[in-house]
Chains A and B, each alone.
Chain A
Amino acid sequence: AQSVTQPDIHITVSEGASLELRCNYSYGATPYLFWYVQSPGQGLQLLLKYFSGDTLVQGIKGFEAEFKRSQSSFNLRKPSVHWSDAAEYFCAVGAPYNNAGNMLTFGGGTRLMVKP
């Protein structure tokens, strides 16, 4: 079964600074990879996804993520953070096979705070 680790529980960055949120996964092959964002009191919104092909994927709100097979990582980046980016971010992994064991598995989340 797959697993996901987000090593940073909280991160604080200044508005306008760059951001990188870390995500490491465990899976025997190339998984499907996702980043979701959850604003306070809201559901999870899909930011971006990786299935195959180009390892650098672009998402909504100016976010991007890079799949690095050698490091089993899928880190989320943004060159310049806005105050509205303050939220909780979840990395998730899914297995590209259609059987009952292949659910989306979520990491524990990273709470991003943005300083003015």
Chain B
Amino acid sequence: DAGVIQSPRHEVTEMGQEVTLRCKPISGHDYLFWYRQTMMRGLELLIYFNNNVPIDDSGMPEDRFSAKMPNASFSTLKIQPSEPRDSAVYFCASSLYLPGREAFFGQGTRLTVV
């Protein structure tokens, strides 16, 4: 299995631009999670899906952030408009079982907003 695949690995964009991060979970996994990692706040859960349906988006910082999962093999996290404080590493993870079981992480997307 190829694991969780994220793209791009690095993204540099100017403030105000739209940014779209992509994720392909492990085939057969029912749960998909988006995390953000920063030095100041550590690893934060932004949103998670179960069977393509958003279950909890309470971690999404602002309305500028949105996430979709149109099918079982693809999810996007969009930031519009982006701001410098959005600079972070964004991880996608997937899990086969309950949300409290182990999650498998992608390599992450390092986002820099200048």
Does B65 lie at the interface of the complex (its beta carbon under 8 Å from any beta carbon of A)?
Answer: no
Q: Is B76 an interface residue (CB 8 A)?
A: no
CA distance A12 to B4 in the complex (A): 31
A-B contact count (CB 8 A): 57
List, in ascending order, chain B residues with CB within 8 A of A97's CB.
Answer: 98, 100
User: Does A34 contact B102, Cβ atoms closer than 8 Å?
Assistant: yes
Q: Are A45 and B100 in contact (CB under 8 A)?
A: no
B107 adjacent to A103 (CB under 8 Å): no
Q: Are A98 and B103 in contact (CB under 8 A)?
A: no
Smallest CB–CB gap between B2 and chain A, Å? Answer: 13
Interface of A is mostly: loop
**CB proximity to A under 8 Å, residues B67-114:** 91, 93, 98-108
Q: Are A32 and B101 in contact (CB under 8 A)?
A: yes
Which chain A residues lie closer than 8 Å to B18 at the CB level?
A: none
Nearest Cβ distance between residue B67 and chain A, in whole angstroms?
15
Interface residues on A, range: 20 to 34
Residues of A within 8 A of B103 (CB): 104
Measured in the bound complex, the distance between the Cα atoms of B108 and A19 in whole Å is 28
A102-B107 contact, Cβ under 8 Å, with A43-B91, A108-B42? no
Q: Are A43 and B106 in contact, CB atoms less than 8 angstroms apart?
A: yes
Give Cα A96–Cα B98 distance, bound, in whole angstroms: 8
- Within 8 Å CB of A106, what residues of B? 42-43
Quick check: is B56 within 8 A (CB to CB) of the other chain? yes
| Given A100-B55, A103-B45, A109-B42, residue A42 in contact with residue B107 (CB < 8 A) | yes
Whether A90 sits at the interface, judged by CB under 8 Å, is yes
5 closest cross-chain pairs (CB), A and B: A94-B100, A43-B105, A102-B100, A44-B105, A95-B100
| Given A31-B100, A42-B108, A97-B98, 9 additional A-B pairs, CB 8 A | A34-B102, A36-B105, A42-B107, A46-B102, A94-B102, A97-B100, A98-B99, A104-B33, A106-B43
The 26 sampled A-B contact pairs (Cβ below 8 Å) are A32-B102, A36-B105, A42-B107, A43-B4, A43-B105, A43-B107, A43-B108, A44-B105, A46-B102, A49-B102, A94-B99, A94-B100, A95-B100, A96-B98, A97-B100, A100-B56, A100-B99, A102-B99, A103-B45, A103-B99, A103-B100, A104-B33, A104-B45, A104-B100, A106-B42, A109-B42
